[in-house]
Every structure is written in C-alpha cells, then in structure tokens.
Amino acid sequence: MKDWKVARQGELRIFRLPDDYVLPEGAKRVSSVNGRLIVGHSETGHHHVMERPDTELWTLPESISKFSTVLIVEDPDGDSLVHERPYDTHGDVEFTKGKYLVKTGREYVPGMQTQNERRSAD
C-alpha cells in the first residue's frame, strides 16, 4: 500500500493529517448506510464509499468548513475509497492507518438566494 500526502478522487481532495490531529469541538460523526460509509455523495447514486466498519467520518463545524470532513482509518491494514460506478469510474484510493482531511469541490451558482456556492454536483 502506497503512503501519500495528497490524493484525489473525482471532486474529492484528500490530505494526510498529522497523527496528533484532534477533532475540533462540535465535530459530528457520520453514520454508515447499509455498511458503507459515504465519503462523497453523488446525486446519481454513484457514491465514493469506504466499507471497513472501524473507519470513521466526521463533519466539521460549519464555522470551520462546510465543505470538509475528517476521515479516521483505524484498521492497521488500512481501507480503500471506492467509486461506486460500473463504468468510467475513478480509481480506488488506498489509505494506511491515520487521519485525513477530505475536501469536497465547490461550484459557483449564479442567482442562489442565500449563498453563491454549493458542493460540486457529481
């Protein structure tokens, strides 16, 4: 398994965090859905998922970033981020045990009432 500092899968950018990183106050744990942890949501149902039960995903407080999450891989054997699409898929990203910042791309939407940006549509 390759050790890396920055990776990308579709609209997701992933950065390795220091081992001593502490989640900020107000972070909330994301629950898995049918045994899958959805790291990147897709409007077409082709999510970016991790399947090991001891991998955790945390949303950060909106005051810090509404487009970022923290992924914690506890399994010594690591885990893989898989794009659930049978065609034109993004390659898997392999993780070693550790903590990672996952940033979701943003797109500008003219005419939105409350804000001019949203998560990138996949």
pLDDT digits (tens, 9 = 90+) for 31-80: 998 888 999 877 666 788 998 888 999 999 988 887 888 999 999 889 99
pLDDT surpasses 70 at 114 = no
pLDDT at position 8 is 83
Four-residue CA torsion sign, 55, 92, 102, 22: positive
pTM: 0.80
Specify the residue for token string 């579709």. 10
Four-residue CA torsion sign, 74, 94, 31, 35: negative
